[in-house]
């Protein structure tokens, strides 16, 4: 590692030692969690460590791939809170506006994100989760606004969001993908109702969004009318690949939770458990390497269709294996219901982590959808039949 990277690592480590919250896992309420997330994001922005993947000119942006790795590694090593509340804002919104937005949208929304404006994503619907092209929420153009009616589902942290990346159907003519339009919606607009979804592990990370004659100005459309499918690919590419670099390093940093558990459970001499730990460790390293390669290809313009899907599937499978090993090694004691830990995936609350890990095989496109993308668009295999006949 170069002297410059060593200096950066030392600076980040020193700063985290004095600033990273220590008691965030004990946040007893969602309100405490949200307050803590906003304070932590503000600190990271001020220090220049919140958006290393943004271009130069933004505070802390313009970092090289090696520098980003150092920052993510140190955040994981310090067990600092993951920025769940700002996740969509700093990754998905940025990637979408950077690739497909106009100058006015970038000038209006990107600085607001750094000041704490929170975004959610309104893509999935009842009956149209993994099959994104099947969405039915309608956007009808009336004068200088789109009037939107419908329902969105599985929207992360929507109950706390100020704005929403919204995909709507503006036409039913031709191919399903051709009738979609991409909008930027104000979550405080009349007609927007949000209901949190209570999940199996006790959290309320997701929410439903009901839209009743919601007006979205034409100026808040990203790309042309009917071009929403292409714009959504920029958002999904970020969700399936770019964000997983940070998550991969956090999982690697959490391997210590597993080794501690193995030691405390008296299974440090169990050859079978150690074999599984070794296999998992290699799996985690491979996932981090895939995420590194994805980001490198993206930066250099060498990204191919399917690259992000490979990273997504590798991460979701490894996360499930990580939590599964923890539950089995921890035995009955680790299966007792405990208070949940908001905003993280590798908490060491093994049963909660195990149940939460299944969400990642669906979020951002199911594992089966990713396999189809890899098979059909990367390997050029025959397309999946539309229906099976016995």
How far lies 92's CA from each of 53, 110, 198, 265, 364, in Å? 12, 11, 24, 40, 11
Collapsing DSSP to helix, strand or coil, 382 comes out as coil
344 exposure class (CB count in 10 Å sphere: 0-12, 13-18, 19+): buried
Q: Are 50 and 44 in contact (CB under 8 A)?
A: yes
State how far the Cα of 41 lies from the Cα of 115, in Å rounded to an integer: 9
Q: Which of 73, 208, 220, 239 is catalytic?
A: 239
Instruction: Look up 239 and say whether it is catalytic.
Output: yes
State how far the Cα of 1 lies from the Cα of 3, in Å rounded to an integer: 7
State how far the Cα of 199 lies from the Cα of 137, in Å rounded to an integer: 24
Paired strand residues for 192: 211
State how far the Cα of 93 lies from the Cα of 111, in Å rounded to an integer: 12
**What residue ranges in the chain does DSSP mark as E strands?**
119-122, 138-142, 145-156, 163-169, 180-186, 192-197, 206-217, 221-222
Smallest CA-to-CA distance from 295 within 53, 1, 12 is with 53
Q: Are 287 and 345 in contact (CB under 8 A)?
A: no
Query: Catalytic amino acids?
Result: 239
């Amino acid at each position: 590692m170069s002297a410059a990277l060593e200096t950066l690592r030392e600076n980040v480590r020193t700063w985290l030692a004095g600033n990273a919250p220590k008691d965030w896992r004990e946040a007893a309420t969602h309100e405490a969690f949200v307050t803590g997330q906003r304070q932590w994001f503000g600190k990271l922005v001020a220090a220049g460590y919140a958006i290393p993947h943004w271009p130069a000119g933004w505070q802390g942006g313009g970092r090289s791939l090696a520098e980003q790795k150092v920052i993510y590694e140190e955040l994981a090593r310090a067990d600092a809170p993951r920025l769940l509340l700002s996740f969509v804002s700093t990754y998905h919104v940025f990637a979408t506006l950077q690739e497909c937005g106009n100058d006015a949208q970038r000038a209006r929304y990107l600085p607001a994100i750094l000041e704490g404006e929170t975004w959610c994503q309104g893509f999935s619907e009842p009956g149209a989760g993994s099959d994104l092209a099947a969405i039915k929420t309608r956007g009808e153009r009336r004068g200088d606004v789109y009037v939107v009616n419908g329902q969105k589902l599985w929207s992360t942290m929507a109950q706390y969001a100020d704005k929403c990346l919204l995909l709507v159907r503006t036409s039913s003519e031709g191919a399903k993908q051709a009738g979609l339009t991409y909008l930027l919606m104000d979550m405080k607009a009349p007609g927007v109702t949000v209901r949190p979804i209570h999940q199996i592990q006790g959290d309320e990370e997701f929410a439903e969004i009901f839209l009743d004659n919601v007006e979205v100005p034409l100026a808040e459309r990203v790309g042309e009318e009917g071009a929403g499918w292409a714009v959504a690919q920029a958002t999904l590419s970020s969700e399936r690949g770019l964000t997983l670099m940070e998550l991969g390093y956090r999982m690697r940093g959490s391997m210590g939770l597993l080794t501690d558990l193995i030691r405390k459970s008296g299974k440090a001499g169990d050859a079978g458990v150690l074999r599984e730990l070794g296999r998992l460790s290699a799996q985690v390293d491979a996932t981090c390497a895939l995420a590194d390669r994805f980001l490198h290809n993206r930066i250099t313009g060498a990204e191919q269709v399917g690259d992000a899907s490979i990273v997504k599937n590798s991460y979701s499978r490894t996360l499930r294996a990580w939590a599964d090993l923890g539950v089995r090694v921890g035995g009955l004691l680790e299966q007792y219901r405990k208070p949940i830990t908001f905003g993280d995936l590798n908490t060491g609350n093994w049963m909660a982590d195990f149940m939460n890990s299944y969400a990642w095989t669906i979020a951002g496109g199911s594992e089966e959808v990713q396999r189809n993308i890899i098979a059909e668009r990367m390997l050029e295999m025959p397309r999946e039949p539309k229906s099976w006949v016995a």
